[in-house]
With several copies, the nearest count.
Chain A
């Protein structure tokens, strides 16, 4: 039931796949599609990220402009899995309904479940998220719930059948990084489904740090979309995730209290020959 925080180094990276439910991923970076300056930039960023799964939302169509370009037109050639979300839901009922409609609209039974409990911070309502997970799992969905770094909420989500748990690093869209990284690490140590850090990461070092703790994947949107150069930042995030994952597999050196030289202590050259012996 418990994962190792520091595994023995093993295998080659090419063998290091992530499996969630019935899908297997080579890339441990998932990417959101919101907030890009243009669909063209979004496509370049997704390509640069190397991701194999992107999130999308579902919304009422604006009937005044039914022919508006669809994000799907841009995503289709990219061969990524779609992960529709329930963003905007604040109740179990609303989230479940959005999941049904998302499944119908996208053809996938995967759902990124969000049930927001506070509008200002977009903090999840974990109790309702657990309940919605239970309902949707029963209906055959593969549920990836967005949650807080609260340990027991993550355990309850796993018990409810979540295919992964997705604790936030910081409030959505803030880029503040891993505020409660101890909380995330606690979840990694105690939950056996994959842990995907979702929301709040700002820079690749945040992503790398999460992966070094044994997080299985990260989901990033704003930090790429609102970078000055989104495709370059997408590449940076790709490398950050790979770096952190490889470090986790490589097994980091233990942190030491005391300094220790990198060059030999013996045979140090004297100030003068005369000082010899």
Chain B
């Protein structure tokens, strides 16, 4: 199953939740914002939102800036 994450294609297991996807990559979910198909997924919903084929996922972090 293929999804797009931050503009790049990624193959993942069907049924994967966003939270699982992030934790598998050691991403601290308290430090990111996530949008799925253009809609923001609140942090507390990441664990029960499953990715589907063709989904577009965006993972945003805070960086230094002026």
Contacts and interface: CB of A to CB of B under 8 A. Distances in A.
* Physical contact A–B (CB less than 8 Å): yes
B9 to A, nearest CB: 8
A276 B64 contact: no
B61 A105 contact: yes
Interface size on A, as a range, is: 35 or more
Interface of B: 4-8, 10, 25-28, 31-35, 37-38, 40, 42-43, 56, 58-66
Contacts of B65: 32-34, 55-57, 85, 87, 262-264
Given A84-B62, A269-B60, 7 more contacts: A32-B66, A57-B64, A58-B33, A61-B6, A66-B26, A71-B64, A273-B56
Contact of A57 (B8, B58, B63): B63
B63 A63 contact: no
* B interface, over-half SS: strand
Given A104-B33, A105-B33, A273 B38 contact: yes
Interface string A103-129: 111100000000000000000000000
A277 B66 contact: no
Interface of A: 32-36, 39, 42, 55-61, 63, 66-67, 70-72, 82, 84-85, 87, 100-106, 172-173, 199, 219, 221-222, 225, 261-264, 267, 269-270, 272-274, 276-277
Given A42-B64, A61-B61, A269-B60, A102 B33 contact: yes
Contact of B63 (A59, A173, A221, A273): A59
Given A101-B33, A274-B56, A59 B61 contact: yes
Contacts, number: 131
A274 B35 CA distance: 12
Residue of B6, B35, B43, B61 with most partner-chain A CB within 10 A? B61
Contact of B66 (A59, A67, A172): A172
Residue of A56, A61, A221, A274 with most partner-chain B CB within 10 A? A61
